[in-house]
A and B are shown apart, each in its own frame.
Chain A
Amino acid sequence: MSKPPTWRVALVFALLAAVPFVPGVSRYHLLLAFDALLFGAIAMSLDLLIGYTGLVSFGHAAFYGLGAYATAVLLERGVLSVWACLAFALVVVGLYALVVSYFATARRGIYFALLTLIFAEVVYTFFRYTQTFGGSDGIQGLPDASVWPGVLIDTPTRKYYLVLAYLLGAWVVCRRVVTSHFGRVLVAIRENEDRARFLGYNVQRYKMGACMISALLTGLGGAIYPIRAAFATPDLMVWTESGEFIISVMIGGLGTLVGPVIGGAFFTLLRDKVSSVVDWYFLVIGAVLVVIVLFMPRGLLGLRRLVRLRRGRLPA
């Protein structure tokens, strides 16, 4: 299936952009929507890695958290420009991702999952247990960021548009990757790594590329978080947070890009709304995960994709 007509994508984004104007939508709802879309976008970038390249990263929370701390450190020092924060996050996360992806893609099998997990744990332990960046309390009380001098991102509406812009950007990047030659090689690697190697592709370099792109997108998402929350804490980097990203991807559908966005949004809303009322939702999530792996490995939206794959068409 080739890419869906642009007008459909535009329609969805237009609808999302109109949300703040819907009567009855409160500031609180916008903040909730922010969280949902942010998580969804990150899940989408993770899908590039898991769904398209077949690499399970259990350390994505580290990219997310590092991006957040990058912004926090700048905001704390009075550097309010959101562009500076994003750029700095790209550098910080980029360096870390370079190191991790280089070593993690060096060998095969579950090596990648384990190494990303352990690297992330090192980062988490460093932020949580040393006082350099505030220890377990993190960096708090951050000021609002600005788009350009004098224009602050201070209302929930502006924050919402920020995350929407990020989602749009991330979507565009992911689509480009997936429909390019690079993306097709990734799929080939997922299907049969050895064959890809025999065909002459430098498999490690492609894997690293996929990992870097996914990591950077996630890092940008993390960079946006303190702009909404006014803090960055080590809890953003616990490995179970990485697990939650994976859950979102699985629920939404591996290899679909759109699926994880919905999966991520759904999961966030579930977690925040439902947790006030009922506390056994994680049990359900775990069970759903098991069921999905056993019976619907391609997730909810991916079922259709699996069928198309079998018919010999490339996933778009």
Chain B
Amino acid sequence: MDYLVAVLLPQLLHGLVFGAALGLLALGLTVIFGLLGVMNFAHGELFMLGAYAGLGVIGATGSFWLALLAAPLLVGMVAAVTEIATLRPIYHREPLYGLILTFGLALVFREGVRQLWGGDMRRILPPFPGSTPLLGMLYPDYRLFLLAASAVVLLAIWLFFTRTRAGIIVRAAVQDAEMLDGLGVNVRRVFTLTFAASGALAALAGLLLAPVFTVYPQMGVEMILLAFIVVILGGMGSLGGSVAAAFIIGVAQSLFSLWMNPQRVAIAIFGIMIIVLIVRPRGLYGREGVLE
């Protein structure tokens, strides 16, 4: 019982916290893939840009909350411009070009940030530094907030996709963009807005995680792999799938690190991923035929 409370439950909590933020990140990625057929290698950099944009806003205004609003908007705009300028021209081409192009974009964003802000690690202080006695240890309030905030955003997104007209259009576009075009919807605008929104989501995740992980140019590179895994596990293009998978991966990572050296946990996670890809490439809730 003591072990359960002192060690297991806190790990579970870590996993949920991380999984929630991961869910925000993966959601954007899976929507983009489902909609545009593009596996966005630069998604991690949008995540990173969110943290840096937050850094900039906090530097200018001193308010974390303002940054939480402004940073995603700023990054969303950057994403929209990028989509129009670089992705639109290549939708009809083989997917390999999308991979390479977004890889190049990732480099540009990453190195651009390094030039502007320097390669050193920066810190964003949590807006409230206290801790709450929980499960036998003092749990930082900010991490609890992170969990709550991510959950709220995910809920809002779910409502958006199921209850609003715009959301339903996007879901329809993910299923069949051509049909939608035939119905008179401005598909190009849907694409751009969706890409911008996914960027904004990634940025939000980046800023929310920044007080925990600190801010540095490589932060996107490290998250992107995990995000890919979540998307694959959940099923490419499946929204609910990627959220579920994010929590699963987050918790799995956390719990595994109790039993094996945390470094090797990654191997276990990748191993699971390979098995999933081989046995059921569509993941938990993905559509058939996407990868089969």
Contacts and interface: CB of A to CB of B under 8 A. Distances in A.
21 contacts: A50-B96, A103-B274, A106-B278, A107-B281, A109-B95, A109-B291, A111-B281, A111-B291, A114-B232, A118-B274, A119-B274, A121-B270, A125-B266, A128-B263, A130-B263, A243-B103, A282-B107, A286-B107, A289-B103, A292-B104, A294-B89
Given A111-B281, A130-B263, A293-B90, 5 more contacts: A50-B96, A107-B292, A125-B267, A290-B101, A294-B86
A56 B104 contact: no
A123 B90 CA distance: 33
Interface stretch (B108-116, B121-129, B165-173): B108-116
A121 B221 CA distance: 13
Interface string A275-305: 0000110110111111011100100000000
B106 interface: yes
Interface in A236-283: 239-240, 243, 246-247, 250, 279-280, 282-283
A286 B281 contact: no
Given A107-B281, A109-B95, A285-B107, A56 B100 contact: yes
A221 interface: no
Interface of B: 39, 86, 89-90, 93-97, 99-101, 103-112, 114-115, 221, 225, 228-229, 232, 261, 263-264, 266-267, 270-271, 273-274, 277-278, 281, 290-292
Contacts, number: 121
4 smallest A-B Cβ distances: which pairs?
A: A286-B107, A289-B104, A129-B263, A283-B111
Query: Size class of A's contact patch?
Result: 35 or more
A46 B95 CA distance: 18
Contacts of B225: 117, 121, 239
Interface of A: 50, 54, 56, 58, 103, 106-111, 113-115, 117-119, 121-122, 125-126, 128-130, 239-240, 243, 246-247, 250, 279-280, 282-283, 285-290, 292-294, 297
Nearest to B112: A283
B228 A293 contact: no
Contacts of A50: 96
B277 A118 contact: yes
A160 to B, nearest CB: 30
Which of B90, B229, B261, B263: most chain A Cβ within 10 A? B263
B267 A111 contact: no
Which of B95, B104, B114, B292: most chain A Cβ within 10 A? B104
A114 B89 contact: no
Contacts of B266: 121, 125, 129
A193 to B, nearest CB: 11
A130 B260 CA distance: 11
B108 A287 contact: yes
B52 to A, nearest CB: 15
A297 B104 CA distance: 13
Which of B89, B103, B291: most chain A Cβ within 10 A? B103
